[in-house]
Structure 1
Amino acid sequence: MEEIEKLKYPIGHFECPSEISIEKINEWILVLDELPKKLSSLVSNYSEEKLNTPYREEGWTVRQVIHHLADSHHHSYTRFKWALTEDKPLIKAYDEKEWSDLFDAKTAPITLSLSYLTALHAKLVYLLKGISAKDYHKFYIHPEGQVSVSVAENLGKYAWHSNHHYAHIKNLATKNKW
């Protein structure tokens, strides 16, 4: 059981600090800024066979993980915008597992999502570097549990999410000596 947990969460679960410093915010922004280039570099020479390899038994393939990152971060970008422009908006959740079982997630060229992540993260990083410290305290409401998520916490979650899925692919490559 411990081994499957390590495969599912190679960097552990996200833990949000109770106080989020400007240094932590800048660290998380840097993670988002670097992800598209790091990820593209990691998978640039992957064959179709490697792209269709699951990172763990019963897990998503490398291809699905890459498309999931684009889909998930697309949702996150919208959540940032809602939190910054509306008063405590209730966001819409999506079923990431169902999205990753769609035809495009299983078969589309990864360049579609890698290019999209590059553009999306450039926009997101630009936005996050330009907002005020006060803006980081704005929040949205997640419908699962009616949980309030601040802009700062969402930033931390998606920096973690970036590193989490990057580690899935990196660990698979290391294990298989790719």
Structure 2
Amino acid sequence: MRGPAERAPYLQQLAELPTLLAAAVAAAGPRIEQPYRPGGWTGRQVVHHLADTHVNLYSRFRLALTEDNPTVRPFDEAAWAELPDVATTPLAVSLGLLTSLHARWSGLLEHLNEAQWQRTFYHPRYDTTLRLDQALVQYTWHGRHHLGHIQLLAQTAA
């Protein structure tokens, strides 16, 4: 990425994700307990997945900013989505976590200088090194992708 102007839309999308997600969850109503597609996760699993995953992604940024090309730890997202707390934890808990987390994450990112955006981490599952500006694009896409799943449930509920 070339600079602040190119990053701005991604930073905006990252910041607004919790608000958009909360609105989509509310619009989905009871459909949130159903899969967004045959064989897919339920909306509940998607919301908790976003909270679980974004905690890890935020940590990757902080590691990259404080260590030299750290190796990040992959985790089994599918297994996490099947843990018992996913079925019992109110969605408001993960929505609140995402709101707070994204406020911290956005606050961190808005203060990075160009050299910091070029810092890296290594992801062993994909055998790749990512710069933070690349990770921003990838992780913003991740949030929007799953937001789309919840929005599908909301559309079918309407």
4+ runs deviating over 6 angstroms: none
Q: Note the C-alpha offset of 1:107.
A: 2.8
2:86 aligned counterpart, secondary structure: helix
Aligned ranges 1:88-107 → 2 under 5 Å: 88-107=69-88
Give the Cα–Cα distance (whole angstroms) in 1 for the partners of residues 6 and 157 of structure 2.
33
Q: Determine if contact 1:20/1:152 at 8 Å carries over to the other structure.
A: no
CA distance in 2, matches of 1:127, 1:173: 32
Q: Which of residues 12, 19, 32 in structure 2 aligns to 1:37? A: 19
CA-to-aligned-CA distance 1:114-141 (integer Å, 9 cap, x gap): 0000000000000000010110110000
SS in 1 for 2:125: coil
Choose the corresponding residue for 2:32, options 51, 55, 62: 51
Task: Using structure 2 for the length normalisation, give the TM-score.
Answer: 0.94
Q: Secondary structure at the match of 1:173?
A: helix
Identity %: 37
How many residues in Structure 1 have an aligned counterpart in Structure 2?
158
TM-superposed CA distance for 1:144, in Å, is 1.5
Give the CA deviation at 1:149.
0.9
Higher helix share: 2
Q: Which runs of 5+ in 1 are unaligned?
A: 1-18
**Residue type at the aligned position of 2:20:** K
Gaps of 5+ in 2: none
Could you say which structure has the greater relative contact order, defined with CA pairs below 8 angstroms and 6 or more residues apart? Answer: 2
In structure 2, what is the equivalent of residue 83 of structure 1? Answer: 64
2:154 paired residue number: 173
Q: Choose which of 35, 47, 54 in structure 2 pairs with 1:66.
A: 47
Q: Distance in 1 between matches of 2:10 and 2:118?
A: 16
- The answer (yes or no) to whether the contact 2:31–2:153 under 8 Å persists in 1 is no
